[in-house]
Structure 1
Amino acid sequence: MNDLFGAAEEATPHRTPLPERLRPTTLSDVVGQEELLGPDGKLTRLLAAVEQGGALPSLVLWGPPGTGKTTLARLIASHLGDDTRFVQLSALTSGVKDLKAAFDGARLARGHGQSTVLFVDEIHRFNKAQLDSFLPVMEDGTITLIGATTENPSFELNPALLSRCDVLILQSLEPDDLVTLVGRALEALGKSDTVDHTARQVIADRADGDGRRSIALTGLVIAGQGDDASLYSAEAIAERLGMALARYDKDRDGHYDLISALHKSVRGSDPDAALYWFARMLEGGEDPLFLARRIIRMASEDIGMADPTALQTAIAARDAYHVLGSPEGELAIAQAVVHVATAPKSNATYTAYKAARKLAKEGGSLAPPSEILNAPTKLMKDIGRGSGYIYDHDTPDAFSGQAYFPEALGRHTLYDPPERGFERELVKRLRYWQGLRDSKHDGE
C-alpha cells in the first residue's frame, strides 16, 4: 500500500514526538473504543465485510481529541490491500488547490488500478463549497472519504455529504485505558519500574480522556528528571502537572452538552448535579451571565407558577452578578441554581404558551367579542362596541363568566396546571371559576 505515514517511521526516533512513536500499527493495539472494535463492533463488522469482498463505505469519525481518529483511519486503510493509496489532508491547512490535487491524483491512480482513501482531519473546518466538491468523486468511486471531526457532524457537515457516509462515534478513553497508554509510554522511555500504578493514575486523570495527552504528559513527567524515586511519586507528579483542564468548547458541542446537562439536572430536581455542571461550565470559562440567563429560562419553562419566586430569584441573581462581578456574583447565580433545582416543577405555563401560539396561528385574524371592545367615541358606541360588557367587580363573585375568546373560535382550555407547589391553589381557583361559569350558563 502506498501511504503517507511511512515518513513518521523513517524519522529519527528521538525527534519523533512520543505519541507518534507509540501510534498503534494494528487494530489489536488500539486501546478503548470497544463499541467499534469489539467482536460485534460496527468497525469490526465493516472490515469483515471488506475482507469478504465488500466495499468500504465513506466514513466520518466523530469524537473528542485524542481518541484515535487518525490512527483508526490509517489502520482502516491498511486493511484494504496494497492497491490502495492513503492520502491525508487537514482542513486547517488545505484549500481548493489541495483538494483538486488530491482528486486529480486519485483519478490518475484509478487509471492504473489503484483506489484512494482520502483522510481529511478536522473536516468540519471546510466550507460548504469545499464539502460539496467531495460529492462527485465519492459518487463515481474516485475516492473513499474518511473524515475526522471533533464536532457534531449533524450540524457541521452538509446533509448531502453526510448522507453518503457512515458515522462512527469514538468515546473519550476510560481511566484504565489511559493507564495502559501511560504504561506503554513509560516502557518506551525506559522508566517502567520508576512510576507506580498510583502515580500512573495521576497522569491518566490529568489527561481527561485524551490518549495523546496521556502519552505527552508521561514524556513531560520523565523529561529532565533524575533517578531520585521521590521525583516520581504520585504527589510529586501531581504537583508538577498541576490541575487538569477540563475540555470545554464554549461555542461548540461541549457548550451545548453541558448546558443541557445543567438544565436536565434542574428539571430532575437534583441540586447536586446541577451545581456540578454549573461549576464545570464556569471552570471552562463560560460567561456567568449566559448561565444566569439560562436559569431565568429554566424558572419559566420548568417551574412557572408552581413556584413564582423562582423567576424572581433567577432575575435577582443576574442583577447581583451585574453589581458584584466575579467571583462574588457567581455565588448568587449558584443560589439561583439551587432554588430552581429544589423548586416544585411544572411546565404548565410553557405548554399553555405553546398551545396558545399554535391556536393563534390557526385562528387567523379573528376579532375579539364586540362586548369587550373599547368604545371611546360616540360612533363606536353607536355600532355596538362595548355593549353588554359586564364589569366583573360589580358581580357578587367578581366573576362575570362572559366570553373573551373570539366567537368563531369558542372557548379553549390552554392552561392546565398540575396539583404541585403553588399551582395547587391555582387549580382550586380555576375549578371554582369554572363552576361559576357553568352555573351562569345553566341559568341562561
Structure 2
Amino acid sequence: MADLFDTAAPNAPASAGPRPLADRLRPRNLEDVIGQSHLLGPEGSLRTMLDSGALSSLVFWGPPGVGKTTIARLLADETDLHFVQISAIFTGVPELRKVFEAAKMRHANGRGTLLFVDEIHRFNKAQQDGFLPHMEDGTILLVGATTENPSFELNAALLSRAQVLVLQRLEDAELEQLVFRAETELDCKLPLTSDARVALREMADGDGRALLNLVEQVAAWKPEHPLDTPALGARLSRRAAQYDKSGDAHYNLISALHKSVRGSDPDASLYWLARMLEGGEDPRYLARRITRMAVEDIGLAEPQAQRVCLDAWETYERLGSPEGELALAQAVLYLALAPKSNAAYTAYKDARKSAKSTGSTPPPKHILNAPTGLMKDQGYGAGYDYDHDAKDGFSGQNYFPDHMGRAQFYQPVQRGYERELAKRLAYFNKLRAERQHS
C-alpha cells in the first residue's frame, strides 16, 4: 500500500494530463539545476557531502522559486532514499505520526527516508521537537525549506542537528539560461525584442518558477511582430517584489536604509526607502525609524535634523499617501547629507552604564535643596556656589557623587555643529581646572 504523502520519484514517468512548463522542465539530476553553484558546484558544500557519502539533515533557506523542492527531490534520487514531501501548512500532528510510522517500517526493512518539509518554520516548537528522535536514530533524513531566517523561526535543538544551506535568488544570466531551456522545450522562440526579453526576466525578480509561468504565457501569444517592452508591460503585470513586513526582508531593508544614511549616501538611502514603500511598508514605521536615525547617528552635529524628521512625520500625517511620502524622502536626503555624530548616543549609553554601576549613591550635599531646618542642619545646600554670581557665570563646582570621581561621557566630534560644542566643552574644562587650583 502506498505511503501517505509519498510523491513520485524524480524520474517518474509523466502523467497523461497537461503539465505546467515549470513541472516539465524540472531537472532530472543535480547537474541540470540552474543556479546555486555555491552549493552544487565541484567545491560546493552540498556536492562535497554527496561525494563523501556524508549527507546530513539540512535546512534550505532562500526566497521562493530558487530550487529548494527540486534539489531535495534530486538528493533523494542520488542517495537512494525514499522521498516523502509534506507541507507544514497542511500537516498536523496525526499526519506527522503516520509519516514517522511509515518511515520506521521502511527503516526496519533497510530503506531510509528523506522527509522534505516545505515551510518548516510554520511548525510550532512542539511539532519541531517531534522530528528530533527520528533524526537521531536515522529513521529520517530531514530536509526543511523555509523563506524565513532559521535563527529566529526554528528551534535551537533542531538547528543543532541540521546544517543550514542558503539558496540565492537567480541571477540574470541564470534566468536567461532558464528561458533558453524553456524555448527548447516549447520548440519556439519567444515573440519579444531583446529589450523586452530583459524586461521579462526583471519581472520574475529572481524567481525561476515565476519566470517559467511568464514564459508560458508569452509563448502562447501570436503577435504579428515581436513585442517591445511597453507592449509586454501592457500584457503582463510586473511581479511584486518579495517583501514581508514582519519577515527578513523588512529587517534587511531597514538595515540597508539606516546604514546608507549613516554612510552619507543620499542615492542609496533614497533607493532603500523606495524599496520599502514599494513593498507596502507602513510609512509611519519609516517616519519613526528615520527620526531615530537623526537622534542616533546625527545628533548634535546637526540639531536641526531631528526637527526636520518630526516635521516630515507630521506632514505625512496631514497629507497621507502618496503625497506625504515625499516629505519622508526629503527627510532621508537631509539626514544622508548631514554631518554625522553618535557622540551623544555613546555618552548616553556610557552614562546609563555608570548609573547602573553606582546604584543609589546620593548627590553631593552642596547641590541639594534645604527647605527645612533639619535639612540645613544636615548640611544640605552648604557651600553651594550660585553660578550666575561667579566669574564668567561658571563656578566649576563638582556635581558628581562625592566618592565617584569626575567622569567624561560626552566627547563631541569635529564635525558640524559639534565643532562649536567641542570648543565650549574645552572652554569649561579650562575654567574648571583654573577654579580647582585657585
State the TM-score, normalized to the length of structure 1: 0.94
- For residues 164 and 19 of structure 1, what CA distance do their matches in structure 2 show? 32
Residue 387 (structure 1) shift: 1.3
Look up the match of 1:316.
311
**Counterpart position of 1:156:** 153
Query: How do residues 290-329 of structure 1 correspond to structure 2 at under 5 angstroms?
Result: 290-329=285-324
What corresponds to 1:104 in structure 2?
A: 101
- What are the within-5 Å matches in structure 2 for residues 262-341 of structure 1? 262-341=257-336
Matches of 2:108 and 2:208 in 1, distance apart? 39
What corresponds to 1:72 in structure 2? 71
**Structure 2 partner of 1:45:** 48
- Which of 26, 30, 33 is 1:30 aligned to? 33
Q: Secondary structure at the match of 1:168?
A: strand
Structure 1 residues 182 and 13, CA gap change in structure 2 (3 angstroms)? farther
1:197 deviation in Å? 4.2
> Residue 83 of structure 2: which of 67, 82, 86 is its match?
86
Equivalent position of 1:63 in the other structure: 62
In structure 2, C-alpha distance between the alignment counterparts of 1:239 and 1:89, rounded to whole Å: 38
SS at match of 1:184: helix
CA shift in 2, pair 1:309/1:193, >3 Å = closer
Aligned match for 2:218, one of 216, 221, 224: 221
Match of 1:212 among 198, 209, 212: 209
Letter in 2 for 1:355: D
Given residue 163 of structure 1, which amino acid in structure 2 is its aligned partner?
A: S
AA aligned to 1:43 is L
Mapped to 1, the partners of 2:350 and 2:312 lie a distance apart of: 30
Letter in 2 for 1:21: R
Structure 1 residue aligned with 2:435: 440
Which of residues 20, 23, 28 in structure 1 aligns to 2:23? 20
> Equivalents in 1 of 2:278, 2:296: separation in Å?
26
1:113 match: secondary structure: coil
Could you tell me whether the CA contact under 8 Å between 1:231 and 1:237 is conserved in 2? no
Whole-angstrom distance in 2 between the partners of 1:197 and 1:77:
39
In the other structure, the counterpart of 1:416 is: 411
Cα deviation, residue 63, structure 1: 0.4
Q: Given residue 68 of structure 1, which amino acid in structure 2 is its aligned partner?
A: G
* 1:35-69, Cα deviation, whole Å (9 max, x unpaired): 1122211111111111xxxx311101000111111
> Which of structure 1's runs of 4+ aligned residues deviate more than 6 A?
none
* Separation (CA, whole Å) in 1 of partners of 2:227 and 2:336: 43
Most deviating of 234-243 and 106-115:
234-243
* Secondary structure in 1 matching 2:231: helix
**RMSD over aligned Cα atoms:** 1.7
| 1:187 is the counterpart of 2:184 | yes
Give the 3-state SS of the residue equivalent to 1:87 in structure 2: strand
For the Cα contact (< 8 Å) 2:191–2:219, is it kept in 1? no
Q: Counterparts of 1:243 and 1:108 in 2: how far apart (Å)?
A: 48
Deviation at 1:162, TM superposition (A): 0.7
Instruction: Work out whether residues 135 and 141 of structure 2, in 8 Å CA contact, stay in contact via their aligned partners in 1.
Output: yes
Give the one of 135, 154, 164 matched to 2:132: 135
Q: Distance in 2 between matches of 1:234 and 1:316?
A: 40
Q: Given that residues 387 and 395 in structure 2 are in contact (C-alpha distance below 8 angstroms), is that contact kept between their aligned partners in structure 1? A: yes
Aligned-pair CA distance for 1:9: 4.7
Deviation for aligned residue 1:273? 0.5
Deviation at 1:329, TM superposition (A): 1.0
**Number of positions where the alignment pairs a residue of Structure 1 with one of Structure 2:** 434
Q: 1:265 to 1:391 in 2, by over 3 A?
A: same
Secondary structure, in 3 states, of the residue corresponding to 1:248?
A: coil
1:6 CA drift (Å)? 3.8
Corresponding residue of 1:356: 351
Shift in alpha-carbon separation, 1:402–1:193, aligned structure 2, 3 A: closer
CA deviation string 1:369-400 (max 9, x = no partner): 11111222222222111111111111111111
Q: CA-to-partner distance for each residue in 1:228-264, whole Å, 9 max, x for gaps?
A: 3425444432321133421111110010011000000
Partner AA of 1:389 in structure 2: Y
Instruction: Give the Cα–Cα distance (whole angstroms) in 1 for the partners of residues 262 and 171 of structure 2.
Output: 29
- Give the unaligned 5+ runs of structure 1: none
Q: State the 1:343 CA deviation.
A: 0.3
CA separation in 1, counterparts of 2:354 and 2:157?
A: 36
Q: Determine the C-alpha separation between the residues in 2 that align with 1:39 and 1:169.
A: 17
**Structural mapping, 1:368-383, within 5 Å:** 368-383=363-378
Which residue of structure 1 aligns with residue 251 of structure 2?
Answer: 256
1:398 aligns with 2:393: yes
**Match of 1:247?**
242
Q: Secondary structure at the match of 1:56?
A: coil
- Distance, in Å, in 1 between the alignment partners of 2:195 and 2:139 is 50
8 A Cα contact 2:190 2:219, kept in partner = no
Identity of aligned residues (%): 57
Aligned partners of 2:230, 2:308: CA distance in 1, in Å? Answer: 43
Worse-superposed segment, 198-207 or 101-110: 198-207
